[in-house]
A and B are shown apart, each in its own frame.
Chain A
Amino acid sequence: MASRMKRIALRPLPYLFTDWVGQLIARLFSRKLMRQFCGEVTDTFVELLLKGMDLAFCLSKGFRKNIRGFEGRYLFQTADGLIVTSATFRKGNMRVHEAAIDDWDVRVTFKDAPALNAFLFSKDQDILDSVLADDVEVDGNMNYVYKFGFMARDLSRRLGVG
């Protein structure tokens, strides 16, 4: 979904259909991500999550409201550097980068994909365990993580798995 062409192609859809239809389409294209939400967390989780968000922003007017006027730069990486993904938000758009970015507002360094999943979607205080167990370390402005956490949970809700 990172490609500019796809983005341009998908952009008119929310104006043709209701939000519900947009979410249904997003659900169809996000099966892999939905499986990960339901427990099968693999190394592709971050990438799928960010791309799923990107797709949902294109298809759902309601979800896109989350990034209206929002500017933010996120870097997600594992401590061993095997996974590095970034996301930038600007002028109502999201871009996913498969490389590190500079000048991030927040950098989230996580032990592995399940740790990040627990950090973002946890119930019953796993989020605290993640920080305490050094499974996840946050550098920068924590408020950006809170915002991202809301968007991630909003996405899972819209995909019917939240």
Chain B
Amino acid sequence: MSEITLDDLSLENVELTPRVLHLRKTYFKAVPEICIERSRLITAFSLQHDLFDHDRISTLDKARMYRFVLENRVPVVYHSKGYEEGMKPFEFSDGSLFAGSTTSKFKGVPLYPEFLALALWPELWTISKRARNPYHITDSEVKHLNSKIFPHWMENTILEYARQRSYEENFEKYGLRKHAPELKLLERLVFFLASKPNCISHTIPDFSKAIGIGLRGIIDEAKRKELETSDISRKEFYRAVSEVLEGIITYSRNLADEAQKLAEDEKDPVRKEELHDIARINRRVPESPAQTLREGLTTVWICWTAIHLENPNVGLSLGRLDQALYDLYRRERDGGTLSVEEAVELISCLWLKIGDHVPSIPDAAEQLFGGTGSNQAITMGGVDADGHDAVNDLTYIMLRATELMKLRDPNPNARYYLGVNSREYLRRLCEINMNTGAIPAIHNDRAVIKALMAKGETIEQARDYGVIGCVEPGSNGRFYGHTAAILLNLTSALELTLFNGRHRHTGLDVLISKETGDPSAFNTFEDLKTAFEEQIRWLVERTTALNNLLGKTHQDFYPTPILSSFFEGPVEKGRDLIRGGAVINSSGVAIIGLADVADSLSAIEKVVFEEKTHSFGDVLIALKKNFWGYESLRTRLMNPDKTPKYGNEDPEADATVSWIVHLLDASFGEKENYRGGKYRVGYWTMTNHAGFGRFMGATPNGRKAHENFTSGITPVSAVTPYLTKALNSVANQPAECLANGVALNMKYTPEPGDRKKMLDNFVASVEGYFDEMDGKRDGGMEVQFIITDHRTLADAVAHSDKYPELLVRVSGYTAYFKDLNPQMQKEIIDRTEYLLSSGRMVEFEPFPLPAERR
């Protein structure tokens, strides 16, 4: 039950302490540094134990490897050196209240040669000089990676294992000497992306057990279960759990020893005491149950760093920390041993620690993922498993830390249950969005819970959801859904439909999928829908086959004993997470280009089949010519008064969206993944709507070649003049088909003149969007905001140095605007901007396309 004892929910009088201000300043000053520690240690262990020669790597082998890494990595209590822009070194004093870090660097780029780290190989000498998002690396690190680490992994990456596996399977089953065609399609990049070659990730571990009984408690349970079972593989799994948890305990003790040593040499009495505190805490936890908030947070932090040693952090998320840590907080507050100010400081220090690493992204991939952090979502508020208000003091403390820190990671998400959570809470969420310009995202509990229950979760499981990565909901600590397993470019399905199984990017002379007929010969709109449906089903076959191939490869070569130890299910079943150990198993699909495809189909229906003003052949020629000479047709296609547009409460347009959403849910939903679970579909796009847009030709909604697609589930920019209608169109979509989450991106003009009125309207708009209208609709599932106007954003393109901390919502995750590639910056500037005071769209000219794309 909710217990609010704070007098002021906004905690206006609580500010960042000098310690946190200094750390935050240093954090923004430092450029990321490549860290080779993990790669060096796992390569050494693999060589020493001949793991490169194994046909399969057992959970126990992996566990021993991670224990070796944990016990041998350098215990860094605090950092003292970083690099600033221009790769100039600087020194600082790191007074964080938490010891340890994800990498050996202050802001590190960990490398995972098992996955895609080798893609950085060609640019090792130049990566510190690249134009966007450079990483510092020393010459000796380049040489070490080139000669001592990367060569050993050339035949041993997940993608390469999968390639070999597909070849062998094809030969065994069909006598064919070829690899899976899905791999080739993946390489083409314009059809879909898959994240399994890069990570396991995209899930929420369960920290409550580690906090409550300590790792020793989990080890004891694993040992007990090992003795109880005669099954060899289960015995091995339990032994693996003990191995990795012992490794984590040792790492924490090593930090304690190091802190003790530093304390003995420390002259400053205050710092000396702090180091003694770190030594004492890290010696106790995570081995033993946490007794204070700081110990609970240390448990989370140490376990979090260990999880990252195992898995690249791509959307690994922290879950509902305001719930998991609340009892510790309450006990200390009641006992008078913790002030609200101290709690905010602790949370702020943890927030900075969480952002102590960034994913390794090769230059080429910057186009698709540029500016991304690790997308570590954190979830606050909502209801508990019994449906009661779960917003508590710690929720508000975390929100205050979020507001003051304004960081990209963690990615804050707030749950709101209309009618259960208080209006003051929602008001506070909107206020923080106005103050930070972008965070937190707000999720509609009622719609999300309905969506999860439609996929078979119990009401208690669904109510206990946390947000994963960008916006994906999943039952906290028991749901392994790899929610970003497949990123499907829906506009490619449209492309294959329009060009009879061919794609302009791979050449109209090459048949890619199947021939579904020349659209010029279609007599009805139904013919077009049938062809589109067939192309969708073809893509669903390809993507799920690829995901299952990669998943089986993970099962053979990448068991995850650490993540499994912090999950509900694996310990009970005696089975690794990637072998189906979790309570709930599924795989997630993110769809890119929904609004563009829906508006394209609606436009064709109107122009070609209803009004018959143009033939299908004419439309196809116009598309091939990028509307050159067909300006009047383009104007008509783009005009919301002449062709139905999603986002205007137009029944036809909204129905087209619903049809697509149902089609994708049904097509993916019937497929089974490699863990015996089902596929779930969502509509969030990260930066891929800009990345894919860059490579695709003109589309029938009037979008020109190379222009961005629209983000997430958001209507197309500049065709939806009324805010309420835009929100209602999205809220009309069926929640049960959106279980993998949605990102609705809204941009509001800051209205400093009357902040109260703006806030009132802001709150009302969210309530209206979430409203289920007496069961007539499900209500919108999620909404996220940018509260910065187009002029400021355009100025930030021209003068990025003036806006080093400008936060924006991409489509799901949060990013610093300066880090985004030009195409993505344009997309954000061009997003429909509304005035909350009038509910009307602000008219402005689109930002010019980056020069090289014109």
Contact = CB atoms under 8 A, between A and B. Distances in A.
Interface of A: 65-66, 68-70, 120, 123-125, 127-128, 131-134, 138, 141-144, 146-147, 149-150, 152-154, 157, 162
Contacts of B154: 141, 143-144, 147
Given A125-B364, A125-B367, A134 B506 contact: yes
A133 to B, nearest CB: 8
Interface residues of B, number: 35
B150 interface: yes
B151 interface: yes
B19 interface: no
A18 B157 CA distance: 37
Contact of B160 (A125, A133, A143, A162): A143
B685 to A, nearest CB: 18
A132 B187 CA distance: 9
Interface string B111-150: 0000000110111111000110000000000000011001
Contact of A153 (B125, B155, B189, B364): B125
B363 interface: yes
A124 B126 CA distance: 12
B153 interface: yes
B753 interface: no
List the 9 closest pairs (A to B, CB-CB), nearest first.
A149-B122, A146-B121, A128-B364, A143-B154, A127-B364, A150-B121, A146-B118, A125-B367, A143-B118
A128 B367 contact: yes
B151 A147 contact: yes
Interface string B146-186: 11001101110101100100000000000000000000000
B160 A141 contact: yes
24 contacts: A124-B131, A125-B364, A128-B365, A128-B368, A132-B188, A132-B189, A134-B505, A134-B506, A134-B507, A138-B187, A141-B163, A143-B118, A143-B121, A143-B153, A146-B118, A146-B121, A147-B154, A150-B121, A150-B122, A152-B122, A153-B122, A153-B125, A157-B125, A162-B126
B190 interface: yes
Contacts of B155: 141, 143
Contacts of B121: 143, 146-147, 149-150
A43 B151 CA distance: 31
Given A143-B154, A147-B121, A147-B150, A123 B189 contact: no
Given A125-B366, A143-B157, A147-B121, 7 more contacts: A128-B189, A128-B368, A132-B190, A141-B154, A143-B155, A150-B125, A153-B125
Contacts of B507: 134
B695 interface: yes
A66 B125 CA distance: 14
Instruction: Say what secondary structure dominates the interface of chain B.
Output: helix
Contacts of B160: 141-143
A133 B694 CA distance: 12
A30 B324 CA distance: 64
A69 B47 CA distance: 15
Nearest to B130: A123
A133 B705 CA distance: 14
Given A127-B364, A141-B163, A144-B154, A65 B189 contact: no
B363 A127 contact: yes
Given A123-B130, A143-B160, A154 B125 contact: yes
Contacts of A128: 189, 364-365, 367-368
Contacts of A138: 187
Which of A70, A132, A157 counts the most chain B CB atoms within 10 A?
A132
Which of B130, B146, B190 counts the most chain A CB atoms within 10 A?
B146
Contact of B122 (A68, A124, A141, A146): A146
B804 to A, nearest CB: 22
Given A131-B187, A141-B155, A143-B118, A65 B367 contact: no
B260 to A, nearest CB: 42
A134 B122 CA distance: 20
Nearest to B129: A123
Interface in B474-499: none
Interface string B312-340: 00000000000000000000000000000
A141 B163 CA distance: 8
Contacts of B157: 143
Contacts of B695: 132
A150 B146 contact: yes
Contacts of B118: 143, 146-147
Which of B154, B157, B506 counts the most chain A CB atoms within 10 A?
B154
A153 B126 contact: yes
A56 B155 CA distance: 26
A66 B146 contact: yes
A134 B505 CA distance: 8
Nearest to B160: A141
A133 B367 CA distance: 15
Nearest to B157: A143
Given A128-B189, A134-B507, A123 B363 contact: yes
Contact of B125 (A69, A134, A162): A162
B1 to A, nearest CB: 52
Contacts of A65: 147
Contacts of A70: 151
Contacts of B190: 132
A75 to B, nearest CB: 17
Contacts of B188: 131-132
B358 to A, nearest CB: 19
B669 to A, nearest CB: 31
Contact of A68 (B119, B147, B364): B147
Interface string B666-701: 000000000000000000000000000001000000
A146 B151 CA distance: 10
A123 B146 contact: no
B691 to A, nearest CB: 9
B189 A69 contact: no
Contacts of A141: 154-155, 160, 163
A123 B123 CA distance: 10
A30 to B, nearest CB: 18
Contacts of B365: 128
B366 A132 contact: no
Contacts of A131: 187-189
A126 to B, nearest CB: 8
Interface in B352-403: 363-368
A133 B146 CA distance: 30
A49 to B, nearest CB: 14
Contacts of B363: 123-125, 127
Given A127-B363, A132-B695, A150 B124 contact: yes
B119 A146 contact: yes
Interface string B724-758: 00000000000000000000000000000000000
B129 to A, nearest CB: 9
B134 to A, nearest CB: 12
A132 B694 CA distance: 10
Nearest to A72: B154
A145 to B, nearest CB: 8
Contacts of A142: 159-160
B849 to A, nearest CB: 15
A125 B691 CA distance: 12
A57 to B, nearest CB: 14
A70 B160 CA distance: 18
Nearest to B370: A125
Given A134-B507, A149-B121, A153-B125, A69 B187 contact: no
